[in-house]
Structures are given as structure tokens and as C-alpha cells.
Amino acid sequence: MAATDSIKLAALTAAALALPGLAPEARADAPQRAVSLDTNFSRYEESAGRMRVDIYQSSMTIPLGDRFSIKANGVKDVVTGASPVAVGYGPSGYGPRSAGQSLIMSSASIYDVRDEVDIGVNYFLDDKTTLGLDLGRSSENDYTSDFFNIDGRIELNDKKTTLATGYGYASDKVWEMVDDNGEKVKSPGVGGAKYTHQGMLGVTQVLDKDSLAQLNLTYTHSEGFLSDPYKYALVYNYSNPYFPDFVRDSRPGHRDQFAVLLRYVRNFSALNAAALHADYRFYSDSFGIDAHTFELTWIQPIVYGVELRPRLRYYAQNSADFYQPVFEAPRADGNYSSDYRMAGFGAISGGIQLTNEVLGHLRVAGGVDFYQRRQDYGIAGGTGTSLDNYSFSMYSVSLNLKF
């Protein structure tokens, strides 16, 4: 199954991610004095026997003198299960309309492995300015991505104001793998190249000794093959209304995405240095999707280095201009998608993470996240279907060692 974009601007990771429970990568605020090793395992499981992903990640950061640090990161995702391919009529997706709509699932034999390796370098110009460069490659049996990111940050106003900026670029190729007498081969003529540019501007302002506010603006431009090579749409034709066609997912060849993140952080010294993070994110793109994300995280130190982090998140989007569960007539522009990710829906999720720091050298963490997506949870409007309702759970454990 094709991967998502590999652009990972370090300064951008404060923004809410597409799936809850995927922790943002942190950028060091000062030159690191010790070697650190991070390992993480996460398991993502969808309801009704759909997709399962096991995620293995390891990284090492090594200081090089007083001004440089280098970080190497490796990720392996193992994907198994089944995924929605299209919506049709009848128990198996085919048949008369009177039978009602039905979800057509891919074969339950999906198995894919994604490997990613990237290397990053930080240069600390002084105690106020940091520059970063990261480059890497991600690959699986139907997708490759080569990417790089550059970012910078400067602290002003006695370090009460932080300005951040970044740029990322990814060159991707995607295709379809099909079964040919038990052997997986490329489907000829399906897929193509995709190119993505991403830029970010951000400012963080300390308001007083207990609070700060953050604003991030992100713009992303993608062009090339932006469709999903595995998904189809059922399209009825006026000339032959009794025999609809399944056509391949087809989306515009360019996409512009804009996002605004607002964050407020408040510390509560009377509650053992607890902190509240409140985020709002607005997203809009040229596919016609507008989305809203609200997220609250409470960070509660307990005792002896133990820390508890419960969080709650609500997400809602409207549907893309070219989305329908089933198309009752052909579209003039030839764009069709019944991909559930293009539908209008809402999602409520939450989770909790428990961490423990031991002797200042070892940090152990474990967490669980739950997600419930429903078409009637949405507030943004647009077309959707209850067939796309599902839930997932995600479990993770991680270790951070400094030596």
C-alpha cells in the first residue's frame, strides 16, 4: 500500500498529525552533550479485521563538538489486512440498487513492508540560532520517496520569542502491484511520479512565566500522480443505466494545501508543574476539503520521574469536490473518488501515555490511543457514507537512553 508523503520538516512537527497517537519528532533546543538512543514499537489495528500496521523505529543522536549533532533514523512498517477498494450495490458490491450500498474490500492477503532511512544534521550557530538539514529515502513494494528538509530557528527578545521556518521537498513514485499466478508484479500503465514542496513559518511567544502561544502557517504544493492506484469508483452512465462501470480513482494532477496551527500552553506550578496544551488547526486544500482539529493534552508529573499524559482530540472535514460513494452520472472533468479519506466525516479520539525517567539516563514510555470515525460526527458538511465508519486502536512502547 502506498505510503504517505515523506516530508518531515522538523520545525513543523508541532502541528497536529493526520492520525492521533503518532508522536511528533522533537528538535533539540540546545547542543546535545551526550549520545542518545531512541527505540519505539507501535501497533495500529483497525476494527472489523481491516488494516494492521506494526511500526518499528530506532534513532541515534551523536554530538560532534559544541556546535554540531548528527541523527540517524530508521523505520520499518509491516502492513497486513484488507482495505476498502470501492462502494457498490448488493452484498458483495455488485447487483441492483435496491439491494443497498455495500463496501468492496481488497483481498485479506495484503502484506507490505515499508523501510525508511534518513540522516539529519543540526548546526548550532550560537545559543539562539539553530539550522537543520535532513535527507532520506522511504520505499515499499509499490512506492518510493526521496526527500530532504531544511529548517532554521532563531530566538529573540531575551528568548521570549522564537521564529521558525522550513522547506521540504519529496520526489515520489507510486504504482500498483497485482497478483499474476501467485507472483506480485507491477500493473502496466498504472501509477506515476509525484513531486511535493512544503514551506512553513512559525512564531512562539512566551506570554508570562507560566504560558506561551504558538502560531504555525504551512503551505504544501503537490503535482503529478495524486490518485490511489488501488481504489475504484462506481459510475453510472446515461447511455447504459443498468450496467455501471468501475473506474479507477482519478484526482486532479495538482493539489495546494494550507494549514494554520494555533497552540496555547499553560503551566500550573501548584499542581506539581502540570501543563495544559490546547491546539486548534484549520486546514484547506484545492480538492475542496476544509478540516478542523481541536486537541487537548494534559501533562501531569506524579512522583519519582513518573509522568501521565492524557489527551482528547476531535477532527472534522467536509468531502472533496470529486467524492461520492457512488456516481449517478459521469463527471465532466473526469475526476472520481470514493476513497473514504476524501469523504465528509468526524472523528473523536483520545489516549493516555505514561512515562518514567530513571536516574536521568533512561526514559521509558507506554501509551494507548483509540479512534472512532463516523459520518454523523462531522460538523463540516459534505458527502459521506456510514459504510466508511470504523475505529482503530494504537499501542506503543518506547525507550530513550542517554549515555
Mean pLDDT, the chain cut into blocks of 10 residues (403 residues total): 50 32 39 88 93 96 93 96 86 68 79 94 92 96 95 94 96 92 87 97 96 97 96 86 87 97 96 96 97 97 94 97 94 96 96 92 96 92 90 96 90
pLDDT score recorded for residue 13: 36
Burial 193-225 (b: 16+ CB within 10 A, else e): ebebebebebebebeeeeebebebebebebebb
Burial class, 318, CB count within 10 angstroms (exposed 0-12 / middle 13-18 / buried 19+): buried
Amino acid letter at 148? F
In angstroms, rounded to a whole number, what is the distance separating the alpha carbons of residues 230 and 269?
52
128 and 159 Cβ atoms separated by less than 8 Å: yes
The three three-digit cell numbers of residue 34, written as one number: 551526550
pLDDT score recorded for residue 10: 39
Q: Roughly how many angstroms between the first and final C-alpha of the chain, as a whole number? A: 38
Say which residues have a Cβ less than 8 Å from residue 208's Cβ, sequence separation at least 6: none
What's the maximum distance between 2 C-alpha atoms anywhere in the chain?
74
75 and 115 Cβ atoms separated by less than 8 Å: yes
Burial class, 130, CB count within 10 angstroms (exposed 0-12 / middle 13-18 / buried 19+): buried
Superfamily of domain 10-402 in the CATH hierarchy: monomeric porin ompg (2.40.160.40)
In angstroms, rounded to a whole number, what is the distance separating the alpha carbons of residues 168 and 151?
8
In angstroms, rounded to a whole number, what is the distance separating the alpha carbons of residues 151 and 132?
5
- DSSP summary character for residue 375: G
The three three-digit cell numbers of residue 386, written as one number: 456510514
In angstroms, rounded to a whole number, what is the distance separating the alpha carbons of residues 395 and 378?
26
Q: How many of the other CB atoms lie within 10 Å of CB of 287?
A: 20
E strands of 225-253, at which residues?
232-237, 240-248
Q: How far is CA 59 from CA 40, 138, 379, 398, 400, in A?
A: 9, 15, 39, 11, 10
Using alpha carbons, select from 36, 31, 33 the residue that is nearest to residue 58: 36
Q: Pairing between strand 306-317 and 290-301?
A: antiparallel
The three three-digit cell numbers of residue 257, written as one number: 494545501
In angstroms, rounded to a whole number, what is the distance separating the alpha carbons of residues 375 and 213?
33
pLDDT score recorded for residue 33: 76
* Cα dihedral 48, 186, 137, 6 in deg (nearest 10): -50
354 and 365 Cβ atoms separated by less than 8 Å: yes
E strands of 99-182, at which residues?
101-105, 110-124, 129-140, 143-156, 161-180
pLDDT score recorded for residue 17: 29
pLDDT score recorded for residue 181: 81
Q: How far is CA 217 from CA 105, 167, 282, in A?
A: 37, 12, 10
In angstroms, rounded to a whole number, what is the distance separating the alpha carbons of residues 219 and 285?
10
pLDDT score recorded for residue 380: 78
Give the angle 389-395-401 at the CA atoms, nearest 5°.
150
308 and 354 Cβ atoms separated by less than 8 Å: yes
DSSP secondary structure string, 30-66? S---S-EEEEEEEEEEESTT--EEEEEEEEEEEEETT
Residue ranges of alpha helices (H) inside 222-333 are none
Give the angle 191-192-197 at the CA atoms, nearest 5°.
130
Q: What is the pTM of this model?
A: 0.89
